[in-house]
Amino acid sequence: MRIATIGAGYVGLVTGACFADMGWDVTCIDINPQKIAALEEGRIPIYEPGLEEVVRRNADAKRLHFTTEVSEGVPGRDAVFIAVGTPPRPEDGHADMKYVHAAAEAIAAAMTGFTVVVNKSTVPVGTAREVAGIIGRTREPDEFEVISNPEFLREGAALEDFTRPDRVVVGARSERAADVMRQLYKPLTDQGHAMLVTDPESAELIKYAANAFLATKITFINEIADLCEKAGADVDQVAQGIGLDTRIGPRFLKPGPGYGGSCFPKDTLEFVTTARGYGAPSRIVEAVVEANDRRKEAMVERIETALGGDLTDKRVAVLGVTFKAETDDMRESPALTVVPELQRRGARVVAFDPQGMANAAELMPGVDWAEDAYGALRGADAVAILTEWRLFATLDLVRIRSALKSPIVVDMRNLYDPRIMEAAGFRYISVGRRSVG
């Protein structure tokens, strides 16, 4: 099969590379000439484990191509995936659809033969009909069908999620379009991975409902962590106890500084906006959004309290600034709230992240960037661990202790055992567990 992706960002590039790895002929299209030039040279514009190897392998095999021209990449394709950004509009939180609309217009002008146009971007309910209306201005109904095929990719594990999915969701109105998607995903369904075929509206809502539920689960365990601290309980033990219930499950029950990233923040806002628009407001998700915003601010207060209630001229080392480990993505990272607020309250911040510093430097002015974790710790009054990079969990405690001016560790990811930290002479503040030292 021959396919194209409009957008060579995180979703478009992963989608295109993985389909090419299945043996299909794929063209990734992006309006950014620098990005396309880099991809043609084998340089990946994002950090995602394993992606660079897959891209290079399939580009070398002539199955994966890159262009800035829709007129080159779309004609003759069995399916064209729209994988462009849908950021929230600042005025109302609703997804900004201008990039999706522009992609639809470009596809309509370039496609030849029957084409399945696939909404891969995370889009509001009703977008399939909306895009079909745009393409239908210039194309006959029998020339195309617009379907929904939402992505469920975790940053840092995107290749695994694409090639070993829990499910593939396809929202189509005709068997003709559904059969194109069945053929496209056959290498996965032949391995036993499930495909669920629905109507487009249900597929669109599945994406938002799934992310809203997971965000709710994260926010719930964060509130349980607060209660554990007050009651003298251990949130890790509580999470394990409830996670063993098969109706609940253990995933997304790790307390921390709040959810971030490219999906949960904007998708929960869109869910809230959509629900209100249909006259069916979601009070639960509204509360989740509010609680998550408060969570990030509470982490600053946790650091301030550990330093005696005054951050003036205090040197705070921050380990990790990306919203999660195994990515360089800074979108909606808790660090974007925590670090500026630390600075506003008088602290001097020095930070280190294995992958995110280049992206973070423009977003967080005034931060001193260290070459490694130990460099960030040197002379600091306290260290705050914001991101759960594995290397932070294996640092030498003796070196940490000697590097810090004061042995204060505020661990927002519970990477260490409180008993070990106490024995090593630290004042150790974690999340949902008894503070020591």
Residues noted as catalytic:
263
Eight-class DSSP state of 6: E
Give dist(CA 405, CA 205) in Å, integer. 51
The answer for residues whose C-beta is within 8 angstroms of residue 425's C-beta and 6 or more apart is 401, 407, 437
Tokens 């962590």 belong to residue: 225
Tokens 């639809």 belong to residue: 104
| The pairing of beta strand 382-385 with beta strand 368-369 | unpaired
Identify which of 261, 285, 262, 264 has the alpha carbon closest to the alpha carbon of residue 274. 285
Give the DSSP H or E segment for 28. strand 25-29
CA distances from 152 to 58, 155, 223, 387, 391 (A): 23, 10, 26, 22, 27
When computed from its CA atoms, the radius of gyration of the chain, rounded to whole angstroms, is 23
Give dist(CA 239, CA 210) in Å, integer. 20
CA distances from 219 to 213, 262, 295, 332, 407 (A): 10, 17, 9, 15, 30
Give dist(CA 29, CA 47) in Å, integer. 19
CA distances from 272 to 129, 142, 153, 197, 297 (A): 21, 35, 22, 25, 22
| Mutual angle of helices 200-231 and 235-243, in 10-degree steps | 140
Identify which of 1, 372, 50, 416 has the alpha carbon closest to the alpha carbon of residue 183. 1
Give dist(CA 36, CA 12) in Å, integer. 12
DSSP 161-223: HHHS-S-EEEE-SSHHHHHHHHHHTHHHHTTT--EEEE-HHHHHHHHHHHHHHHHHHHHHHHH
Identify which of 315, 405, 304, 403 has the alpha carbon closest to the alpha carbon of residue 367. 315
Give dist(CA 434, CA 428) in Å, integer. 9
